[in-house]
Structure 1
């Protein structure tokens, strides 16, 4: 009887020692930082970044944030080197197969034509071959005009503030920059005339590897937007 028990014990010990090692994938995923990219833009700093931070906190994720450029941020996200981006136009999903938009939309935004007060401001300036216009990156993608480009001369820059500075210092007469309509007073401060050219949904975006978070994030973002609306109503 004793010999039989010893044989069973020896068999169990051998089985434990020779079983394949199972990688702790789930533990690693939980401990890995969740990195969200963001563009250097006043409204993102003031409103969208804090809102998204709270939405992730609501679903149990403590996110870290990394400032990225317009193009670089999308490249990092599409390659899975970041996990999400605070806010983008919904059209970014059309040419980035690994990026998923999260509804509800955070807001509506527009690409604004910005003009010095000393020049005529009209939408057709984008077709003037003599005009030089400072624009943010992804200008053509936002307008979906890759195959039929405008006639003006466009000069791409990656920073919203730099675009405003270029027009304010009279290096350019015209610029095109994104806004959710909350920067209109800022445009006034820079003494600029402005016209919205095209509107888009503004949405939070994630890498497709986090598709399992989509439904939870949708609920969390809707909750945070509702809280903001209630706070705003109470402040009136």
Structure 2
């Protein structure tokens, strides 16, 4: 048992805690009713000291919680989504309101980053865009207002690749048309994102050494406009390779 002396004359009138080591009988003979032997405790733990200790514990706990929170944030998964706002079959780009509705839905799902696909066509040896670049820019501005970051522009090459593989047209001319399109796209979006996939799902273009010079020129288009440029070799997986950074 401990007792507290509020004004202890033996300790400079300080409030002092004592440990009761033994009790004795009082004058009436009642056992264990009078303090017999006590021992002064080295430190008085009063309300001020308790408050100070609690403040220290709170500060240390807050620091530890912040460290855990920072560690969590460092490894927090970031959810991205690849969008394709152009219909290849329909040869058109979605209307603004349809795109904005999808953006609103993505935000509500917790998506934080966007990767957009630019669709192209190749008809009778002429390469052109399906995607409406100006409409895309307006919608990316809207996405940015909603907190969605655009990280990557991908240029899909399905019809172009098949035209090259068919050898029905002047391949040198087809390739120059592709480079011209890449230049146009790069100029449109160079302030919007970091990565530029200059050939998306190139498939056999990457297994034929005769296309090597052309592929390097494609990479240079992205690099010269400030992007990290690369390829997506296959639609069946393997990810995107950024070679020219």
Output the TM-score relative to the length of structure 2.
0.28
Relative to the length of structure 1, the TM-score reads 0.29
Q: Which has the higher contact order (CA 8 A, sep 6+)?
A: 1
- Structure whose CA Rg is larger: 2
